[in-house]
Each structure stands twice: as structure tokens, then as C-alpha cells.
């Protein structure tokens, strides 16, 4: 059924990605800019897949130090402790806040991993111009876009704890190197999903263009 939809390039049309204006354009005459918002009109985001893969690989590499290195350290009169992401979740769980522990687990561990896996699947299938489950893949892309920035949660939690708990030798919290790696994972996955062009899921239009 999906083949029966008229697609913009086949009809000599282009929708502006920025302001939504629809234009009828002559693509043989090179590239145009939207007369309303001056955004460059591309049929596809330029180098979409290469850029998506590059950000994905960076995110996957940074995911390792983000989870192995401590993201923060606490010190009090009894000593000094390092805390990793997983450690923080376990602490919340043990203190009885299993709801919050679940939220942090989903935001910090599950979402970044699933985002990397989902975008890798989307890029790989788009590269092969696959027609496998196109509608579901489009939904997956929207899900990745929606949940993306929630992974920043733990960065905010640590920064806030640093700001809240500063009682000198009695109790203090310091940020550690793992936090930067984790923040970089979140930024890299957000850039990867921004680089991916969902129109690549629907290659039908190309043949008729």
C-alpha cells in the first residue's frame, strides 16, 4: 500500500524542513533556498548516513568510560568514595526509592544503549534501501527523537548534588571524569539522531524522480 502515495520529489515539489512551506521547484537547476526562511532545500540531509555513523561510533566508544569511570565522588569525615552511574542507581534502590532508581536506570543506561542500537538499525536498513517494516522504523525514529535528551538527567543530578552538598570536611560532592564522558555520549547520540534523515526510510520516490 505504501507505494500508492505521491511523493514530493516525484511531483517536482519540496517541503521546507525549517518552516514547512511547500514549493514547486526545478531540481535540475541546482539547489534552491526557501524564499520564506532562506533554508537550503535538500531532497535529503547532506551526508546524512556518514554523519549519523560517525556520531554513533563516537557515542558507542564514549559509553565505555562513561560507565567504567566514576561520575562523582563523595567525601566526609570517614573518608572518600567514588560513585559510578550504576552505583548511584543501586544507592537509590537500596534507600527504598525504587521508582527513581528505575527512572535513572532507564534514562542513563537503557536509553543511550537503545538509542545507539536503534539508530544503527535505522542507518543500516536505510543504507540498503530496505522496505522492511517502514512504518515501524519511522515510529522508532520518532521515539529516538522524543526520548533523546532525557539521558542528560544524570549530568544534572551530579551538578546539582555538587551545588547542594558542600559542607567542607563534613560532607561534599565532587564531579569526576566519567561525567564528562557521559555528557558527551548524550550529545553524540542527539547529534546522531539529528543527522539521520527519516526520509531515507522511504526510498520509493527516487525511482520516479
Take residue 202 and report the three cell numbers written for it: 522511504
What is the per-residue binding string for another protein in 101-120, x denoting contact by CB under 8 A? --xx----------------
Take residue 155 and report the three cell numbers written for it: 549530568
- Contact region with another protein (CB under 8 A), list: 14-22, 46-54, 113-121, 122-130: 14-22
* DSSP secondary structure letters along 131-178: -TTHHHHHHHHHHHHHHGGGGGHHHHHHHHHHHH-B-TTSEEEEE-HH
Residues 20-49 that bind another protein (CB under 8 A): 20-26, 28-30, 32, 34-39, 41
Residues 133-172 that bind another protein (CB under 8 A): 134-135, 138-139, 141-142, 149-150, 152-167, 170-171
CB of 20 to another protein, least distance (A): 4
Residues 57-96 that bind another protein (CB under 8 A): 74, 76, 88, 91-92, 95
The C-alpha atoms of residue 102 and residue 108 are separated, in whole angstroms, by 10
The C-alpha atoms of residue 107 and residue 151 are separated, in whole angstroms, by 5
Cβ distance to another protein smaller for residue 128 or 166: 166
Amino acid at each position: 500500500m505504501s507505494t500508492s502515495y505521491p511523493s514530493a520529489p516525484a511531483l517536482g515539489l519540496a517541503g521546507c524542513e525549517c518552516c514547512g512551506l511547500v514549493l514547486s521547484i526545478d531540481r535540475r537547476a541546482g539547489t534552491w533556498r526557501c524564499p520564506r526562511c532562506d533554508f537550503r532545500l535538500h531532497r535529503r540531509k547532506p551526508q546524512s548516513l556518514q554523519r549519523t555513523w560517525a556520531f554513533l561510533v563516537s557515542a558507542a566508544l564514549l559509553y565505555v568510560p562513561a560507565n567504567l569511570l566514576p561520575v562523582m565522588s563523595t567525601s566526609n569525615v570517614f573518608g572518600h568514595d567514588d560513585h559510578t552511574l550504576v552505583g548511584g542507581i543501586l544507592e537509590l534502590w537500596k534507600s527504598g526509592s525504587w521508582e527513581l532508581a528505575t527512572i535513572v536506570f532507564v534514562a542513563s543506561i537503557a536509553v543511550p544503549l537503545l538509542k545507539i542500537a536503534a539508530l544503527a538499525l535505522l542507518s543500516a536498513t536505510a543504507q540498503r534501501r530496505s522496505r522492511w517494516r517502514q512504518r515501524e522504523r519511522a515510529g522508532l525514529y520518532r521515539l529516538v527523537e522524543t526520548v533523546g535528551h532525557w539521558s542528560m538527567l544524570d549530568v544534572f543530578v551530579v551538578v546539582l548534588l555538587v551545588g547542594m552538598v558542600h559542607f567542607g570536611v563534613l560532607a561534599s560532592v565532587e564531579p569526576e571524569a566519567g561525567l564528562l564522558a557521559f555528557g558527551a555520549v548524550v550529545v553524540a547520540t542527539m547529534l546522531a539522531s539529528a543527522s539521520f534523515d527519516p526520509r531515507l526510510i522511504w526510498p520509493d520516490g527516487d525511482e520516479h524522480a
